[in-house]
Chains A and B, each alone.
Chain A
Amino acid sequence: MIFWEALTTHSFLQYALLAGLLVSIPCGVVGSFVVIRRISYIAGGIAHSVLAGLGIVHYLQVVHGMEGLSPLGGAVIAALIAALVIGWVSLNLKQREDTVIGAVWAMGMATGILFISMTPGYTTDLMSYLFGNILMVTSRDLWLIAGLDVIVLVTVALFHKQLLAVCFDGEFAGLRGVHVQRFYFLLLGLTALTVVLLVSVVGIILVIALLTLPAAMANLFARRLWQMMLLATVTCIVLTTSGLALSYAPDLPAGAVTILLTGAAYFLTALVRRR
């Protein structure tokens, strides 16, 4: 196949493949928590707020010549702020959570668009922010992705007991001395970091499918959380790799192909496993 031949010669394809592998691990691990705690709408809100971070960094780079800033770094900060705001407002201001998510979601996008419109020049980047461009992943991005991977995995390895208990029965976990709110925020923070990782592969708008659908598919087979995480990770690796491979020869957007594959796989699996 053309893709596998090209892979041996083009470093940008190797980077893209490696990026797909690296993001699949937190995708499976954190995606499982997102699915069982039912916070995929929060993940969607966080994902769209990422545009604010990307837009501001892009503006500072072009207009103020701050070339050293990393778009991925801006994305991380925007995602963490969005997660904090959603969590804090819905816990403390007694507002309906979905309303808060909607507000953060739209304000994040509006901020991003504002800064992008103030930036002179060609706005091709907007498309790759929104729909991803895995082929533009650089070796520096790979290091950042690997670093975020390590943070996410070490955190989950340390606190999976509390995270699972809080998702299963928060009241009971609280009675056993677990700081339920603290771990809820930790889960939102992990979700934010994972969303940023996935944005580099499929873009802001498509993230939500890649974060939740592999875990949802895995959930149809797994009986325990670690099995679900493992299965979701493998599923995510297969989907990102085949999305990349299938899109290469006909020159289609890899993110869109990956998401269509993911969605199709999800509905097929749900159909086969229906009870």
Chain B
Amino acid sequence: MMDAIVCRNLLFGYDAKPVLWNVNITIPEGDFVCIVGPNGSGKTTLLKIALGLLKPTSGTIEVFGQRPERSRGRIGYVPQHPQLDPLFPVSAMDVVLMGRLGRARSWGAWGSSDREQAVRALDEVGIADKAGHHFNSLSGGQKQRVLIARALAGEPDLLLLDEPTAGLDAHIEEGFYRLLQELNQRLTIMLVSHDLGFVSGFVRTVVCVGKEVVVHPTSAITGQVIADLYGSDMRLVRHDHRCSHDGQDQNGHES
């Protein structure tokens, strides 16, 4: 099996101020990874490097064995909830079809295979009935699903999500992670989140971005790891109902 993402001695800095240094991570295909870390730690930077939007200052990153720019066609990107003009005249279907760019013919109208693929993507995220709705009339959770469907419409092998649940209610968030779990059966998924406690019940691997970048299997996340990452005043809150298999590791920690 090929690795989805491999970083070797990766270093990144804005104006000589290092944001990420000495990142060595290998993410195998089929993994479900969450990048966590405090604000400003470089979580989103790591994601943008994987997309080829930012170039590492030194070191290498490969996505499916190639430079990120060359693998973009295999990546589905779900950006942080974009601030959009509320009157922007697009339906949910129009937005999802944009994910077909690069696969569809470049001139003229969308082809029937593009429409089929877009409908399939909307169906997969469970909102096929909203296809014709004005994008901005949808709820926050539905919009987020449309943006995932847009990423899926490009038939990706790797899904990258930037803070996908920011601003969503907790009960919507849970359904959202269940959807990602289902998608993980055929896709590699990497997401950025501020909320480790919640995510740890769903993901397999946690990448902690802080003073250094450390990879943990989910079960190894302890209070001490969190304290090291976020600083000593961090306090874990138990979410027993979502952490049945590794709840023992998530006992409240205070130092």
Binding site for B on A (CB under 8 A): 32, 36, 38, 157-159, 161-162, 164-165, 168-169, 171-173, 175-178, 219-220, 222-225, 227-228
Contact = CB atoms under 8 A, between A and B. Distances in A.
A36 B108 contact: no
Nearest to A36: B88
B98 A225 contact: no
A177 B104 CA distance: 11
Contact of B98 (A36, A164, A220): A164
Contacts of B88: 36, 168
B14 interface: no
B72 A224 contact: no
Contact of A36 (B85, B95, B104, B109): B85
Given A36-B85, A161-B101, A176-B101, A168 B73 contact: no
B72 A168 contact: no
Nearest to A216: B87
Interface in B213-246: none
B98 A165 contact: yes
A272 to B, nearest CB: 15
Contact of B101 (A38, A173, A225): A173
Most buried by B among A32, A164, A219, A228: A164
A222 B134 CA distance: 9
- Main SS class of interface, A: helix
Nearest to B101: A176
B209 to A, nearest CB: 21
A176 B102 contact: yes
B79 A169 contact: yes
- Main SS class of interface, B: loop
Given A158-B107, A158-B108, A225-B94, A176 B99 contact: yes
A155 to B, nearest CB: 10
A225 B107 CA distance: 17
B89 A175 contact: no
18 contacts: A36-B88, A161-B98, A161-B109, A164-B94, A164-B98, A165-B98, A165-B101, A168-B90, A171-B53, A172-B79, A175-B51, A175-B53, A175-B75, A176-B99, A176-B154, A220-B87, A223-B89, A224-B94
Nearest to B160: A175
B40 interface: no
Contacts of B79: 169, 171-172
Contacts of B110: 161
Given A165-B101, A177-B102, 20 more contacts: A161-B98, A161-B104, A161-B109, A161-B110, A162-B106, A165-B98, A169-B79, A169-B98, A172-B77, A172-B79, A172-B150, A175-B75, A176-B154, A177-B101, A178-B102, A222-B89, A224-B89, A224-B91, A224-B94, A228-B89
Contacts of A228: 89
Nearest to A159: B107
Contacts of B104: 161
B151 to A, nearest CB: 9
A222 B88 CA distance: 9
Contacts of A223: 89, 91, 134
Most buried by B among A32, A162, A178, A224: A224
Nearest to A169: B82
A227 B132 CA distance: 13
A159 B88 CA distance: 18
Interface string B44-82: 000000010100000000000000000011010101001
